[in-house]
Amino acid sequence: MASMQGVEMKVGAAVRGEFPIFETATYLNSCSQGALSHRVRGAVEEWLAGWDANGAEWGFWVERNETFRAAMARLLHAEPDDVAVTTSVSQGVSALVSALPLDGERNRIVISEYEFPTVGQIAHAQELRGAEIVHVRPDPDGSIPAERFAEAIDERTALVCCTTLSYRSGHRHDVAAIAEAAHAAGALVLADSYQACGALELDVRTFGADAVTGGTVKYLLGTAGLGFMWVRPEVRERLVPTQTGWFADEDIFAMSIADYSPHASARRFDSGTPPVPSLYAGVAGISLVAESGVPAIEEHIQGLVGRLQEGLHELGATVVTPREPKRRGPLVCVRSTDVDTLVAALAAERIIASSREDKLRVALHLYNVEDDVDTLLEALARHRALLA
């Protein structure tokens, strides 16, 4: 297996000391929750100290909201006015879909089988408003090529949902190609990028999607309760959400109950009172990602994933995640004969991973190193009977 020492000096080894969990465990579960850093812990303690010392710090709390918005914009190569701050992907997508008129001829929402339940459930909830929901199924190899989406898209399609990276299989969608087919039919494209943002370079200027969502609990190294939604400016201007909150108003301090005046910017997709504790954690977590640089993180992860997949191939394991770098990301999924037992056996050895369906999920990030991969492979060799 090829060495990655040059990259690790920039990423893995340089930041690993920020994350105390590596003193006692091999952490491979960033697809569920990013590891806690000293910096994030310090930011949460700062929030508590300020609250204790000064009571309501609303001026500073609102500033944290705007600091996060600007930080996300930089990460996405966007402008702050094009980014909504949300409490979750669910909140952002619900606001977006609420702005779609679905009671006419263009009432179809296309979703892939790899969407997170949030997107599928919100889509099907629109059936109450007259929407028709179409599912795009995977090919036998587990991939969902852009052609499958194109077959489901027509002049009746209002919205196409394509997760950037599947939480169930590790497959990466060709968002640009899907968007090309959708736009040709006059449809909008939503790319849920929760499993990608912070681990894969996302440039919304060339990505293709009209809306990109995600949150801080995974590769952005924050905690739950904070998300974002970028919306293309020319699309945003014609979308007026009916799901809203006071922070989405054109003037939040007007405190008016007499009308609905959504903000001209993507703030129209914000909601109510911001999630203040999560903002402190989110700003701190994203700063670690920004300092490392997403291109360097992606290169680092791709090397580790390649090492892992090579080792799994040598074990004869059934890996459902593609081996081609352009078709994968930080998440590798491996079939198991008894995945719950396998996850528990690894946890007993202080190797932290997770599962979905019959698959072990291994997620690598900026703080992982070659030794983490090798530790896992050695453990899987000992538990080979639990691999399909």
Domain identity same for 154 and 297: no
Q: And the tokens for 3?
A: 């060495």
In the predicted model, what is the mean pLDDT of residues 65-76?
97
Which letter does DSSP use for residue 132 in this model?
Answer: E
Which letter does DSSP use for residue 253 in this model?
Answer: T
In the predicted model, what is the mean pLDDT of residues 374-385?
98
* Structural domain for 249, as ranges: 45-290
Domain identity same for 270 and 165: yes
Other beta carbons within 10 angstroms of residue 371's beta carbon come to: 12
In the predicted model, what is the mean pLDDT of residues 362-372?
98
Domain identity same for 217 and 155: yes
Per the CB < 8 A criterion, the answer to whether 127 and 97 are in contact is no
CA separation (Å) from 160 to 124, 327, 328?
13, 20, 21
User: Which pLDDT tens digit goes with each residue over 94-107?
Assistant: 999 999 999 889 99
- Cα 298 to Cα 292: distance, rounded to the nearest angstrom: 10
Q: And the tokens for 248?
A: 């989405």
pLDDT above 90 (res 6): no
The whole-model pTM stands at 0.94
Give the lowest-confidence range in 7-21, 31-45, 333-347: 7-21
In the predicted model, what is the mean pLDDT of residues 15-40?
97
pLDDT at 4: 41
Per the CB < 8 A criterion, the answer to whether 156 and 100 are in contact is no
Q: Classify residue 60 as exposed, middle or buried by CB count within 10 Å of its CB (0-12, 13-18, 19+).
A: middle
pLDDT at 9: 40
Domain identity same for 208 and 124: yes
pLDDT at 1: 35
User: Which pLDDT tens digit goes with each residue over 219-257?
Assistant: 999 999 999 999 999 999 999 999 999 999 999 888 889
pLDDT at 231: 98
Distance from the Cα of residue 131 to its chain's centroid? 26
Mean pLDDT of the chain: 94
Domain identity same for 29 and 80: no
In the predicted model, what is the mean pLDDT of residues 144-162?
96
Among the candidates 228, 259, 290, a domain finishes at 290
Domain identity same for 282 and 302: no
Proportion of the chain above pLDDT 70, given as a percent: 98
Domain identity same for 338 and 354: yes
Domain identity same for 75 and 203: yes
Give the lowest-confidence range in 24-28, 62-66, 68-72: 62-66
Q: And the tokens for 235?
A: 């699309």
Proportion of the chain above pLDDT 90, given as a percent: 91
- Cα 99 to Cα 46: distance, rounded to the nearest angstrom: 38
Per the CB < 8 A criterion, the answer to whether 142 and 320 are in contact is yes
pLDDT above 80 (res 3): no
Domain identity same for 117 and 193: yes
Per the CB < 8 A criterion, the answer to whether 122 and 97 are in contact is yes
pLDDT above 60 (res 194): yes
Among the candidates 238, 266, 290, a domain finishes at 290
The length of the chain is 388
pLDDT above 80 (res 10): no
Question: Higher confidence at residue 10 or residue 41?
Answer: 41
Q: Which of 57, 31, 40, 41 is nearest to 116 (CA)?
A: 31
Helix ranges (H only) for 293-354 are: 294-315, 339-348
- Cα 110 to Cα 190: distance, rounded to the nearest angstrom: 10
pLDDT at 254: 87
Domain identity same for 243 and 303: no
Among the candidates 263, 290, 317, a domain finishes at 290
pLDDT tier at 141, thresholds 50, 70, 90: confident
Give the lowest-confidence range in 103-107, 120-124, 215-219: 103-107
Per the CB < 8 A criterion, the answer to whether 211 and 96 are in contact is yes
In the predicted model, what is the mean pLDDT of residues 342-351?
98
pLDDT above 80 (res 83): yes
pLDDT at 5: 41
pLDDT above 50 (res 184): yes
pLDDT above 90 (res 142): no
CATH code of 358's domain: 3.90.1150.10
Per the CB < 8 A criterion, the answer to whether 159 and 119 are in contact is no
Q: And the tokens for 295?
A: 């291109």
User: Which pLDDT tens digit goes with each residue over 275-297?
Assistant: 999 999 999 999 999 999 999 99
Per the structure, the count of domains in the chain is 2
Domain identity same for 204 and 280: yes
Cβ-Cβ contacts under 8 Å for 310 (sequence gap 6 or more) = 1
CATH code of 233's domain: 3.40.640.10
Domain identity same for 130 and 229: yes
pLDDT above 50 (res 300): yes
